[in-house]
Amino acid sequence: MGIYSNGIVYGVCWTIFDNSLDFVSRYEETFPEKMTLEQIQSVKENYDLLTEEELKDISIQFYTCCSSSLDDQPGTFMMWFPGSKTALNELFTTGDTRL
């Protein structure tokens, strides 16, 4: 039982906190279909603008289609799923929108 992602990326979000875990900034892009190479490149350009200090305090999430076995109402829904710098860099490098 739980919430399951289909693994396809429909958007990317990152939140930056300072050392005391206070909110600093947030970037978010979502798309109605799985991300295209052009959309991935656009997100990468924004990511490349971050400083080394910001990258130390970043929290990354991916927007994916999910389903749940916790409810007796079948169907899918969109949800932010936890991500990592490694997974984001893999998205940038390969263009593969599957997590």
**Spans of all domains in the chain:** 3-94
pLDDT tens string 48-98: 999 998 998 899 999 999 888 876 767 888 999 999 999 999 999 999 888
Longest dimension (CA), the chain: 46
Nearest 10 degrees: CA dihedral of 67, 72, 75, 76?
Answer: -30
pTM over 0.75: yes
Alpha-carbon distance 56 to 31, whole Å?
27
Secondary structure E strands in the chain: 3-17, 23-30, 58-68, 76-82
pLDDT tens string 23-42: 889 999 999 999 999 999 99
The per-residue pLDDT for 23 is 80
Whether 99 contacts 12, CB under 8 Å: no
